[in-house]
Amino acid sequence: MPFQSFFIGPQAKYIQVDIDSAKFGRRHHVDVPILADAKKTIIALTDAIDQQPETGWYQAALKDKQNWADWMKSFEDDDETPLRVEPVFKQINDMATDDAIFQVDVGNVTINGMRYLNTDKHQRFTTSGWYATMGYALPAAIGAQAEYPDRQVWSISGDGGFAMVMQDILTQVKYHMPIINVVLTNESLGFIEAEQDDTKQPHSGVDLIDADYGAAAAALGATGFEVHTLAELKEAFAKAKAADGPVVIDVKISDLRPIPVEQLVLDKKTQDPAAVDAFVKKYHAESLIPFRQILEDEE
Ligand SMILES: Cc1ncc(C[n+]2csc(CCOP(=O)(O)OP(=O)(O)O)c2C)c(N)n1
């Protein structure tokens, strides 16, 4: 896990399970290396431990997760424009086949893909996790479709990443690949814009000009859609189902960054009330409950 220093306490002990001993300690010092298959190890560890009683903390964590899921779901039919991402992912989830392959680009789009795609065990999700290579999704979708011609393949990109590689729609057309390419156009290198906010820098070099990527894709021989509203979104996905060959659905979305769950400002008991109000308003987080409160209610 590349960003573990943000999330895991410095005193934590590390157990690394790997079938390749050369990998031990590459990311972090290891307290217990286990040279074995990860799946078999987890099963063996699970067999060896005793069931613990369910604590208040555990129950609170379940409620917290449910609160989060309900909050995300509450935007699925939101018709605010520019569109939020939730309605887009609802359309994707509804149309995805049981063994669909999702190739997801790098940026805010990665966070949204992780949060909103309901991938189950027969579906596959990949992104450029190690190198974080923008422009990954579209060629990765070509690779997936070439390898699995009978499976449904998606590419999901931000406008920045898509614009870097969009000429390869030609390859999808040439080989008549029925890939569904979704572009989330927020006219920004959104992830970097958020990074500049977090590090208190002025925005610089992150604004992108808009283009009709649906029309551009049509000029390359694909079926293209430009989407601004919820009604257009639903119509485009309905038509995409019937399309022959590659499809590009360019959805104009708001530039609101994915709510930063690692720095929530929701709790008026422990945080500045004015900052809480501003955060809640910005992210429409009215129904998100601070974990402290869920925990107190539980204990
Ligand atoms: C090839 C490459 N260049 C630059 C970066 C740094 N980078 C990471 S995310 C990002 C912005 C992505 O913007 P966009 O594709 O529009 O997606 P969004 O974040 O808006 O969803 C950039 C520039 C990168 N990861 N890869």
For residue 21, report the distance from its CA to the centre of ligand 1, in Å.
Answer: 33
Is the torsion defined by CA of 134, 216, 184, 282 positive or negative? positive
Tokens matching residue 123: 């579906």
Write the pLDDT tens digit of every residue in 139-155. 999 999 999 999 999 99
Write the pLDDT tens digit of every residue in 23-33. 999 888 899 99
132 lines ligand 1 (CB under 6 A): yes
Q: Does residue 2 carry a pLDDT above 70?
A: no
- For residue 110, give the H/E element and its range: helix 108-116
Q: What is the DSSP string of 189-254?
A: -HHHHHHHHHTTPPP-S-B-----HHHHHHHTTSEEEEE-SHHHHHHHHHHHHH-SS-EEEEEEB-
CATH H-level, domain 77-252: superfamily: Thiamin diphosphate (ThDP)-binding fold, Pyr/PP domains (3.40.50.970)
* Per-residue pLDDT band at 7 (split at 50, 70, 90): confident
For residue 62, report the distance from its CA to the centre of ligand 1, in Å.
Answer: 33
- For residue 43, give the H/E element and its range: helix 38-48
Q: Where are the domains of the chain?
A: 4-51, 55-75+260-299, 77-252
Place of tokens 């156009």: 185
Q: Does residue 219 carry a pLDDT above 90?
A: yes
Lowest mean pLDDT among 5-14, 42-51, 104-113, 266-275: 5-14
Q: How far is CA 109 from CA 160, 192, 269, in A?
A: 10, 12, 33
Q: Identify which of 162, 191, 207 to mutate to test ligand 1's pocket (most ligand atoms within 8 A of the CB).
A: 191
Task: Find all residues with CB under 8 Å of 60, minimum gap 6, and list them.
Answer: 291, 294, 295, 297, 298, 299
The pTM assigned to this predicted structure is 0.91
* Per-residue pLDDT band at 104 (split at 50, 70, 90): very high
State the average pLDDT over residues 220-236.
98
Helix (H, G, I), strand (E, B), or coil: what is residue 170? helix
